[in-house]
Amino acid sequence: MSDSVNHPRTFEILTAEPVRRRRKPRDWSDDEKARIVAATLQPGANVSAVARSEGLDPSQLYGWRRKALASGVVAPLTEGTGAQKFARVETVSKGSVDIVIADMIVRVGGDFEPDHLVRVLRAVRKA
């Protein structure tokens, strides 16, 4: 008999986590995709955060964005065009709207001049 029988031996016990079941793929309608992609094109939007909030993998959302931009259906806002980076604003009700820019609030009533509002917002952004 060998002398190694009386020596201490080390055993390693391996444990494993159960494998997660793969989720069933979800069919997204074109309207849902358009809404989510539009949210990612807003100034300051974080694509990964939008994806997580919608239950998507960020790579899937980046793929949707890439296809939408390549098809010309949507276009990102650009800095160098000199065009306004504001949406067209028209009065539709008599209520008021609060616009928050950094630590400033611009309160706009129901009867306003859109061109004047653009000048005010530009001034606030420069301040």
CB 91 within 8 A of CB 113: no
Regions of the chain short of the pLDDT cut 50? 80-85
**Quick check: pTM over 0.75?**
no
Q: Which pLDDT value is given to residue 90?
A: 55
Q: Which pLDDT value is given to residue 19?
A: 72
Identity at 29, one-letter amino acid code: S
3-state helix vs strand vs coil in the chain, percent to 5: 40, 10, 55
Identity at 24, one-letter amino acid code: K
